[in-house]
Amino acid sequence: MRATCQCGQLVVEIEAGYQTDQIVACHCLACQRRTGSPFGVLAYFPAAAVKIAGVVHEYARAGTSGAVFVNGFCPSCGATVWCRTELKPDTIGVPVGAFADPAFPAPVRSVWEETQHDWVAIPGAIPHFPRGRS
């Protein structure tokens, strides 16, 4: 699997044959600002299965837990192509939209729904959390 920024210079490749079942829709205000949309959706992979190529800039912020959350984005087009957190240092999140695959699997949980836009509904019988998953 391959994810890219808008201009294509920053690329994330997932090891051949590797799939994830850790796809999370997040409605927190930080993800809203990061994506410029009402929520973000990240697919999480073991860092060992991820290759990153291209020029990247990083933006780090403290999450509500106090742990640092880092966005890796393209300095040319501004698109975020990967994220990581101190809470799960062996994991890399990739925005689902960066795969540009309409058949990508749906989220398995929805978090920070206390700041979810009223008109957004995440379908399916998945766990829904008012804040982050405990």
| Mean pLDDT computed over every residue of the chain | 94
Q: What pTM does this model have?
A: 0.92
Q: Which domains does the chain have, with CATH numbers?
A: 2-115 (2.170.150.70)
Contact 73, 83 (CB under 8 A): no
How sure is the predictor about 134, in pLDDT bands with cuts at 50, 70 and 90? Answer: low
Residue-wise pLDDT for 60-78, tens only, equals 999 888 899 999 999 999 9
d(CA 22, CA 39): 16
Contact 41, 97 (CB under 8 A): yes
Task: Please give the share of the chain, as a percent, with pLDDT higher than 90.
Answer: 88
Confidence (pLDDT) at 123: 85
| 54 φψ region: left (φ > 0), alpha (ψ -120 to 50), beta (else) | left
Residue 17 has pLDDT above 90, yes or no: no
Residue 128 has pLDDT above 80, yes or no: yes
